[in-house]
Structure 1
Amino acid sequence: MTFLVLGFDYPAPAGPERRKASREEHLKQGERFYEEGKWLCAAGILNEVGDLIGSVIICNFPSEETLSKEWLDNEPYLLNHVWEKVKIHPIRPAPFMKFE
């Protein structure tokens, strides 16, 4: 199943400082999930002046429960209090998209 995951950072100054400290570990995990075909697209969310304020990930997991167990329970941005809030939405990619 394909999901849209939105992670919204804690505000400055704590959020950006924690993001910087956790970024390498987060990207390493993301790269592994990408290579496994679980992460399909990932990007940082920017505010009006170009500062990172969150993340968006489109991913494939068998279920939301599996997504949480395999990824979010071990996500550095959650464990290190970078993301204040996470929203998960099941999505249906357009027919021409080759996500699955």
Structure 2
Amino acid sequence: MKLYLIIAWDADDADASERRVKVRKEHLAGAMQLKETGNFILGGAMLNDNGDMIGSTMVLQFTDDDEFHKWKSNEIYILKGVWDRIEVHSFKVANV
């Protein structure tokens, strides 16, 4: 399995948080599905100093890049414009 670190920043417009709230339940259902299939390692919202959600960080694992891209092309936060800047990095968990 290949690990992926995803750092995704919410769009910086007046409607971004509203879009996030509208599809958050669907996003979390997708994360639960990833967890059930063993693809979800960890994840959560990034917060600003006021405690507002401004993005997400996830560590996911897939058998290959095609499987990862399939997930990415169906992620609701991407499809609905919640995330507008996404960094994807290969990742390795420290053996500690």
TM-score bin, normalised by smaller chain: over 0.9
Matched, 1:93 2:93: yes
Which residue in 2 is equivalent to 1:82? 82
Q: Could you list the runs of 4 or more consecutive aligned residues of structure 1 that deviate by over 3 angstroms after TM superposition? A: none
Cα distance per residue 1:8-65 (max 9 Å; x no partner): 1012421101000010100001100011110110110001111100000011112233
SS at match of 2:63: coil
SS at match of 1:72: helix
SS at match of 1:94: coil
RMSD: 1.0
Which residue in 1 is equivalent to 2:45? 44
SS at match of 2:67: helix
SS at match of 1:13: coil
Which residue in 2 is equivalent to 1:72? 72
* Structure 1, gaps ≥5 residues long: none
Structure with the largest fraction of strand: 2
Residues of 2 paired with 1:83 and 1:53: CA distance? Answer: 9
Which residue in 1 is equivalent to 2:60? 59
TM-score by length of 1: 0.89
